[in-house]
Structure 1
Amino acid sequence: MASFKEAWQNACIHTKWDKGNPPAVYIFSDRMEIISTGGLPVDLNKEEFYKGISKPVNFKLQKIFGQLGYVEQTGHGIPLIISNYGKQAFDIMENFVNVTIPFNYEKKNRYGADADNEVSINEAEKRVIDYISQNSSITIRELVAVSGYSDGYIRKILASLKEKKVIERQGGNKTGKWVVIS
């Protein structure tokens, strides 16, 4: 549900409304598709898009969504969708962006997703765990730099991993280190 919400909000904020085609949701027996008009902004490439770099086409609409509490921050929706469904969820065309969210999608990973009594770890969380495994003293600022995720999204991932008891912080912020538990 979170991925659909992000895809729909992105479709509304990033659609080029002047083209005359509003964003749309199509529901099929095995999936739903969210389509926005206009493709990627001219100064944004696919890799930047996948990292969650946001360049809203409709800045005023984004501001309204923010004031109403519909969006908390920019730049975490695309990485969230990728962490749940992979980059294959996106079909980026010259004039459209289509997001496909399959029903009954089964995601598995090395941390035991979908197994009883085991923790489910999404792709973004796996990336952060990998960075921490390579450098236990890595800072949030360094995680932002190497991952391309926003500061807020990194903090959200770290909080989730701590809550799932996958990582813990030993020592202080400046001299401490991360420990991968599982």
Structure 2
Amino acid sequence: MKLYESETVELKEIYTSDLKKEIVAFANTNGGTIYVGVQDSGEIIGLDNADFVMQQISNSLRDSIRPDISMFTNIELLQEENIFFIKLTVSQGTKKPYYLSEKGLKPTGVYVRSGTTSAPASEDAIRMMIKMTDGDSFESNRSLVQDLTLNRLNEEFKKRNLEFTKVQMKNLGILSADDIYTNMGLLVSDQCRHSIKFAIFQGTDKLVFKDRKEFTGSIFVQLTDAYKTIDFYNGTKATFHDLLRTDERDYPEDAVREALLNAIVHRDYSFSGSTFINLYSDRLEIISLGGLVSGLSLEAAMLGASQPRNEKLAALFYRMKLIEAYGTGINKIMSCYKGLPVQPEFENVEGAFRVVLPNIHAKNLSLEDEKYLPILKLFEKKKEITRSDVEEILGIGTTHAINMLKEMLDKNLISKVGNGRLTRYVSK
């Protein structure tokens, strides 16, 4: 009996721990046969302790390779002229990619057969195997990152007195049936690879940049950090009716919350890019990747129709009472602006969805008139202002302040009340 190495045959003189790489490679490709006790030349030299080696191989299959590959392997003890050697048959697996449990779902742990050698698979090849095996649902696919922690998610469950066990993790789609983290698990983990980028611009375009932040970590951390940052910049304007003062935010808080939740729950996470939040003097924009699910029009979404792209993620947010019901987000945002002269805008294009929340207190200033913004913002805290207030906020002299106030009166941005030392100015 003469044996030769090929794409489907591997010869091993003795057993070593590297044998598991060959097993993984065959299971991930077209299957194959491994002979132990046979030299590279094809000469059968046998094994002194064949029974023990068979047990080592069996243990390696059980303990060192994931998912479970035992049902796709068969170990035989062969004999030729009183020489014992082992034949290990590996069939192509149905749960590819198989990987070394100590290395995980990455090139150092996933091998494929290439000619007569076993080589590490590329990340693209690993993704393709996952997609072919698990289907097109991103959140249900196995995560390429398996070294995950769920500290923040655990905290969120504790706040709500919810049970957080391995059974719950499987029910929520965080873990697969064979204890492998899914992409859903990656999203809610502390190692989430997606982020939210927040930019603040002076004025109504991107010509003058003021600040930038990026929120990372579990999407629950990102949600909290993004909302707090928007809230920090969400100005408050005081309105007075006789002696009664009413505070009103530039952006209705419920509208901000719904827009942010929708961007996180419904974006397409198969894109690696970030969710963008852009804050201008007159509007807040939230841009999420993916657009509406194929077949769902913007008109249908405006009517309340809903088809979550990430059903497991939406179900988790619903369970945690972050969202109340599917398909209500846009209507809630619209209701926050009911009766106001400015209205939110929704735009769906291929690959992206944009929500624009207008600043209900913004004045439509030209680029030339934006120098008056610091003065106009004084009215967020005061019903009336004086010339001295303008001098202080801008750090200018009396003559300059008088001229600026006169310009604003001429442009009908403010009104004058009283005369002489009792002169006051109110916002229009």
The TM tier, using the shorter chain, reads 0.5 to 0.7
Aligned-pair Cα RMSD in Å: 2.0
- Please tell me whether residue 81 in structure 1 is matched to residue 333 in structure 2: yes
Counterpart selection for 1:18 from 253, 264, 270 = 270
Task: Measure, in 2, the Cα distance between the counterparts of 1:87 and 1:74.
Answer: 22
Count of residues in Structure 1 that have an aligned counterpart in Structure 2: 106
> How has the CA–CA distance of structure 1 residues 105 and 40 changed in structure 2, closer, same or farther, with 3 Å as cutoff?
farther
Contact 1:15/1:22, CA 8 A, preserved across alignment:
no
Mapping of 1:1-182 within 5 angstroms?
1-85=253-337, 89-104=345-360
Task: Measure, in 2, the Cα distance between the counterparts of 1:24 and 1:61.
Answer: 20
Task: Measure, in 1, the Cα distance between the counterparts of 2:344 and 2:272.
Answer: 27
Q: Please, what TM-score do these two structures have when normalized by structure 2?
A: 0.24
Task: Measure, in 1, the Cα distance between the counterparts of 2:255 and 2:270.
Answer: 26
Unpaired runs of 5+ in structure 1?
107-182
Larger radius of gyration: 2
Unpaired runs of 5+ in structure 2?
1-252, 363-428
Contact 1:50/1:87, CA 8 A, preserved across alignment:
no
Q: Please, what TM-score do these two structures have when normalized by structure 1?
A: 0.53
> How has the CA–CA distance of structure 1 residues 92 and 54 changed in structure 2, closer, same or farther, with 3 Å as cutoff?
same
> How has the CA–CA distance of structure 1 residues 67 and 88 changed in structure 2, closer, same or farther, with 3 Å as cutoff?
closer
Contact 2:287/2:355, CA 8 A, preserved across alignment:
yes
Task: Measure, in 2, the Cα distance between the counterparts of 1:42 and 1:61.
Answer: 18
Kindly, what percent of the aligned residue pairs are identical?
33
SS in 2 for 1:18: coil
Contact 1:82/1:89, CA 8 A, preserved across alignment:
no
Higher relative contact order structure (alpha carbons within 8 Å, sequence separation ≥ 6): 1
More strand by share: 2
Contact 1:13/1:61, CA 8 A, preserved across alignment:
yes
Amino acid at match of 1:32: L
> How has the CA–CA distance of structure 1 residues 105 and 92 changed in structure 2, closer, same or farther, with 3 Å as cutoff?
farther
Task: Measure, in 1, the Cα distance between the counterparts of 2:283 and 2:351.
Answer: 22
More helix by share: 1
Amino acid at match of 1:31: R
> How has the CA–CA distance of structure 1 residues 100 and 69 changed in structure 2, closer, same or farther, with 3 Å as cutoff?
same
SS in 1 for 2:353: strand
